[in-house]
């Protein structure tokens, strides 16, 4: 018997960061794009997995501006619905704004409720903002969860507190360590064929008709005793052809599959070359902050064309400058021989994506770098004093670093790019985005 998946609802007044937290928990860095029809409609529900426990995450979302009732009444109505359908609640409040009457309105709804509620105080972006939490102790809660949903701080602690309340997966699959790989690309590029070849059996329906497979399909594959979860996201369509029906739905599913995954393998057609639609799909991967491998497929049809590889790769780099860190494979989904490199590469890339660099090592690296290339300054002499900078990793999947400096405004985009490239070289970050936040010391 399978237990029903519990529902975890995020409630709170508008603008406290509920959607940001929602996306954070799903592993997406930014909001699931809502300019694509069909995404807004159901973006507030998603299935999430944390430490092998599954739950359904609900974001109570934006208020309906057409309603004529007052703001407090609206907040009350939306929260009541969420409270009724949820098994577990996360109440989000804004640490910078302090406790406000609308917050107290929501807290009032929770009185006497027999469901677990976690009180999260958001927008505490630096350790310095911790005192802001004091205001909320008036609510009489033993435990408050300080968060920066935007920067991913405190989110793991919050989820770790929720985990014991979630039932263990009934299928004994502990998929915590299993890399999740989304196979994406425009229709007909060979996604289903690739999945079938990797699985070594006819698992996904393959057809000459574009878009035959519509929903993401998860398949577990074992390679050299390691397991991988492949999600075939057939169904990303050219934007102009999206209508509100099943196509829009599948875009939402595909975006979600990318967000849920550690890594996206973006397939490109070796014969047709890079198209505008490929660029758009690549943009989705970037926006969701996932790791990426570019796989140029159908290369069997270009074999014997000696210069083709170099030309294709140059074109790819020119069109996807924002994915310059993604490795490129040339292969044929029809030939398993040509895919030998794929699992070792997935291992390397997911390791980069999940990497955590110890602070000591990071600062040794940073100090040597600053000695050689001082931080830019506006006035006066460049400072080579290594005490003026400090760095620490604040998140993984993808790796996010906080660079603490005296004058953040002095850190130019060029310097940040330089620092990113050096970080990549030093720690062999391959196929994973990395982010550097500049903070005042």
Whichever of 146 and 423 has its CB closer to ligand GDP, that residue is 146
Q: How far is the CB of 438 from ligand GDP (least distance, A)?
A: 14
* CA 210 – CA 218 distance, rounded (Å): 20
CA distances from 346 to 51, 182, 204, 342, 391 (A): 20, 11, 21, 6, 28
Tell me whether residue 265 is exposed, middle or buried, using C-beta atoms within 10 angstroms of its C-beta: 0 to 12, 13 to 18, 19 or more. Answer: buried
Torsion sign over Cα 242, 244, 245, 247: positive
Quote the tokens at residue 233.
Answer: 């996201």
Whichever of 52 and 187 has its CB closer to ligand GDP, that residue is 187
Q: How far is the CB of 145 from ligand GDP (least distance, A)?
A: 12
Whichever of 25 and 346 has its CB closer to ligand GDP, that residue is 25
Whichever of 161 and 301 has its CB closer to ligand GDP, that residue is 301
Binding site for ligand GDP (CB under 6 A): 12, 14-20, 122-123, 125, 148-150, 185, 187-193, 206-208, 210, 234, 297-298, 300-301, 332-334
Q: How far is the CB of 358 from ligand GDP (least distance, A)?
A: 25
Could you tell me how far CA 264 lies from the centroid of its own chain? 11
* CA 230 – CA 8 distance, rounded (Å): 26
Whichever of 215 and 300 has its CB closer to ligand GDP, that residue is 300
Q: How far is the CB of 355 from ligand GDP (least distance, A)?
A: 23
* CA 148 – CA 24 distance, rounded (Å): 10
Whichever of 32 and 423 has its CB closer to ligand GDP, that residue is 32
* CA 102 – CA 159 distance, rounded (Å): 25
Smallest Cα–Cα separation from 214: which of 187, 189, 241, 196?
A: 187
Q: How far is the CB of 195 from ligand GDP (least distance, A)?
A: 8
Q: How far is the CB of 278 from ligand GDP (least distance, A)?
A: 12
């Amino acid at each position: 018997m399978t237990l029903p998946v519990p529902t975890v609802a995020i409630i709170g007044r508008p603008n406290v960061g509920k959607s940001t937290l929602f996306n954070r928990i799903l592993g997406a860095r930014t909001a699931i794009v809502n300019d694509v029809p069909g995404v807004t409609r159901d973006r507030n529900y998603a299935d999430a997995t944390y430490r092998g426990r599954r739950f359904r995450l609900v974001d109570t979302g934006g208020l309906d501006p057409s309603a004529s009732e007052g703001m407090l009444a609206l907040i009350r109505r939306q929260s009541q619905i969420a409270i009724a359908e949820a098994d577990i609640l996360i109440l989000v409040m804004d640490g910078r704004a302090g406790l406000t009457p609308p917050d107290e309105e929501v807290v009032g709804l929770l009185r006497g409720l027999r469901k677990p509620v976690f009180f999260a105080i958001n927008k505490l972006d630096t350790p310095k903002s911790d005192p802001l939490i004091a205001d909320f102790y008036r609510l009489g809660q033993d435990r408050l969860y300080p968060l920066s949903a935007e920067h991913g701080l405190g989110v793991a602690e919050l989820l770790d507190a929720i985990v014991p309340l979630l039932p263990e997966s009934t299928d004994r699959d502990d998929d915590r360590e299993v890399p999740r790989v989304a196979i994406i690309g425009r229709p007909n590029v060979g996604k289903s064929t690739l999945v079938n070849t990797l699985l070594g059996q006819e698992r996904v329906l393959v057809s000459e008709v574009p878009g035959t497979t519509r929903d993401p399909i998860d398949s577990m594959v074992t390679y050299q005793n390691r397991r991988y979860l492949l999600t075939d996201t057939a169904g990303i369509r050219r934007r102009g052809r999206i209508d509100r029906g099943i196509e829009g739905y599948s875009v939402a599913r595909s975006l979600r599959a990318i967000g849920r995954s550690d890594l996206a393998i973006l397939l490109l057609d070796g014969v047709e070359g890079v198209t505008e639609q490929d660029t758009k799909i690549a943009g989705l991967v970037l926006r969701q902050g996932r790791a990426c491998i570019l796989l140029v497929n159908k290369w069997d049809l270009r074999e014997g064309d000696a210069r083709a590889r170099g030309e294709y790769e140059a074109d790819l780099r020119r069109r996807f400058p924002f994915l310059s860190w993604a490795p490129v494979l040339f292969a044929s989904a029809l030939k398993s021989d040509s895919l030998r490199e794929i699992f070792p590469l997935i291992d390397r890339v997911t390791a980069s994506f999940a990497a955590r660099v110890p602070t000591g090592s990071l600062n040794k690296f940073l100090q040597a770098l600053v000695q050689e290339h001082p931080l830019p300054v506006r006035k006066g002499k460049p400072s080579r004093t290594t005490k003026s900078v400090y760095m620490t990793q604040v998140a993984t999947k993808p790796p996010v670093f906080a660079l603490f400096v005296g004058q953040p405004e002095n850190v130019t985009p060029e310097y940040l790019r330089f620092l990113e490239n050096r970080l990549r070289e030093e720690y062999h970050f391959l196929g994973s985005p990395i982010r550097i936040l500049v903070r005042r010391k």
